[in-house]
Amino acid sequence: MSIPISENTAQAITANRLSDGFVVYLTARNDWSERFEDCQSTGDEQTAESLLARARHHADEGHVVSPYLFRIQHENGKPVALGRREIIRTSGPSVGTDLARG
């Protein structure tokens, strides 16, 4: 289900990588990145639904879990997450920050 897009917002896709649980973002290269800045975004509803279908295919293949659309805006050419949950997800882990990443 898509989220309404206004003039100043777009949508991107996020999920969790199945192998390690890290938050990842669908890129224009049709792969996943841990870097929010790499996310592909669109201001078009149909394109957003197409991106979500592509992400769900990745989930069906066992690469990621629970992909979904979320709203962003661009400030100074960089994506900025909208909504509390996404702000937290794009900022990195909020717990276990003392644990080494493997």
User: Does this model's pTM top 0.85?
Assistant: no
Give the chain's end-to-end CA distance (angstroms, integer): 34
Please name the helix (run of DSSP H) or strand (run of DSSP E) that holds residue 59, with its range, or none.
Answer: helix 45-60
Spatial separation of the C-alpha atoms in residues 76 and 74, rounded to whole Å: 7
Domain holding 28, by residue range, is 10-91
* pLDDT tens digits in sequence order for the chain, 102 residues long: 555 555 678 999 999 999 999 999 999 999 999 999 999 999 999 999 999 999 999 999 999 999 999 999 999 989 999 988 898 888 876 665 565 555
Say how many domains are in the chain. 1
Query: With contact defined as beta carbons under 8 Å apart, do 23 and 68 qualify?
Result: no
Query: With contact defined as beta carbons under 8 Å apart, do 17 and 25 qualify?
Result: no
Could you tell me if residue 102 is inside a domain? Answer: no
